[in-house]
Amino acid sequence: VVEHNNKIRSMQMEEKRELERIIRKLSDAVAALTDELATNQNILGIIDLIFARARLAYRTNSYRPEINTRGIVEINRGKHPLLGEEAVPINIEIGKRFDILVITGPNTGGKTVVLKTVGLLTVMAMSGLFIPARENSCISIFDSIYVDIGDEQSIEQSLSTFSSHMNNIINILKRADERSLVLLDELGAGTDPVEGAALARVVLEELRSQKAKAVVTTHQSELKNYAYQNERVENACVEFDPVSLRPTYKL
């Protein structure tokens, strides 16, 4: 038994040494082709990215948008990429007749979804992806995209976050220019309505003077009046059924 055990142990050691020899030989062979293998890996990564973009476009029924650098965004029947086929398509444009779009409407009516759809589709196009919108849609290349989106609707709950939202907006105003896209959700909310409306109006006026492209959602009637009274600013609303009082999610 001892003799057999020794023989088995010896064979195991020989097998281990042979494996190590083969691994060293293979490693030496691979080391001689390091540059070629690194190039192949990069090429395979690019091919994998192309196929991944193609699969995403196919699954989301996406099309290639027209690209410009003039700040024009025109989305025809665009859908939020994460909501699937059940999403209600929207038509929205900025940069031609107006630079700032003020969206009003009831709570849970889809205003924030519109903001996120515009932002996501713009980023997708700037990343070389097709977008879930019709083929005659147009997306601009921006130098920067600034976003301030908060989900709090209650004044009581929002008081503690109002200052942080304002700090964020102040930083946006310091950096935004005509090559920027700005998305602001519930502008002027979270504080006294009169003060909030005044602050929101100043923010819009500053964005207009900077010629930034902006989409803003609000409940402030003062901002609706501002859009009516100033050039390059337009009003929009999310619809609701006047009979059932349910939102249709159409812009």
How do beta strands 100-104 and 213-217 pair?
parallel
Measured CA to CA, the distance from residue 228 to residue 235 in angstroms comes to 7
CB 172 within 8 A of CB 206: no
Secondary structure (DSSP) of 178-214: TTEEEEESSTT-SS-HHHHHHHHHHHHHHHHHTT-EE
Residue-wise pLDDT tens for the chain (251 aa)? 888 888 888 898 999 999 999 999 999 888 888 899 999 999 999 999 999 999 999 999 999 999 999 999 999 999 998 987 888 999 999 999 999 999 988 777 788 999 999 999 999 999 999 999 998 999 999 999 999 987 554 445 555 567 778 888 999 999 999 999 999 998 877 777 888 889 989 999 999 999 999 999 988 888 888 889 999 999 998 888 888 878 888 89
pLDDT at position 151 is 54
Please, how many CA atoms are within 13 Å of residue 179, restricted to the half-sphere of its CB? 6
Q: Is residue 33 exposed (0-12), middle (13-18) or buried (19+ Cβ within 10 Å)?
A: exposed
Q: E-assigned strands of 51-179?
A: 66-68, 73-78, 90-94, 100-104, 138-140, 144-148
Quote the pTM value. Answer: 0.80
